[in-house]
Amino acid sequence: MTNYPIEHISSIAADQTSLTELLIDCVNSGASIGFLAPLCVAEATQYWQDVDQAMQHGRSQLFVVRDNDQIIAAVQLGLSPKANAKHRGEVEKLMVKQSHRKQGIATQLMTQLETYAKALELHLLILDTREGDVSEQLYQQLNYTRAGVIPDFALNSDLSYAGTALYYKLIQS
């Protein structure tokens, strides 16, 4: 297991190109994170600009891992502005570049995200992932509970449908 430092960044301005490359790499290698392959630069760039806006308004936190100057992994913590949802966060877009997978980076990112969520006094984390995806194993190893599956939730790049598995984890009593 390679141990890379994790950064909590507050703006994507200096990293937009690297983040765009990460997103394209993940989507084009089969990740089901809201996009269809092949993902173009313009769409990926717009996504990160939208994330930056959410970050500036306190609705999203971004954690990244670098190998030299290139971002090789990222995860977001979505925060709700709703009064009845301030106790929970949503794990969004856990991504690891194809060339750096199976090194424990996703586990490191999730551990950091959970530590940060606890510091914010969140009590619940939620997420969803494609049913049957390798990520389900990761979330189960990290003690997330599978709440159920919504069938035919997402469209795959081959135009077939996939269910989404819903997970949660209570992180504070």
Average pLDDT over residues 149-153: 98
Distance CA 67, CA 97 (A): 11
pLDDT of residue 3: 84
CA angle 117, 118, 122 (to 5 degrees): 70
Given CATH 3.40.630.30, say whether it is the number of domain 6-170. Answer: yes
- CA dist 125 → 104, 135, 146 (Å): 20, 16, 12
**Confidence band for 2, pLDDT divided at 50, 70 and 90:** confident
Going by the DSSP 8-state scheme, the letter that residue 97 receives in this structure is -
The whole-angstrom separation of Cα 11 and Cα 52 is 6
**How many other CB atoms are found less than 10 A from the CB of residue 148?**
9
- Give the C-alpha distances (Å, rounded to integers) separating 117 from 25, 30, 43, 147: 27, 28, 29, 20
Domain ranges of the chain: 6-170
pTM score, two decimals?
0.96
Question: What value does the mean pLDDT of the chain take?
Answer: 96
pLDDT 10s digits, 27-73: 999 999 999 999 999 999 999 999 999 999 999 999 999 999 999 99
pLDDT given for residue 48 in this prediction: 98
Per-residue burial over 44-57, b if 16 or more Cβ lie within 10 Å, else e, is bbebbeebbebbee
Percent of the chain past pLDDT 90, that is, above it, reads: 97
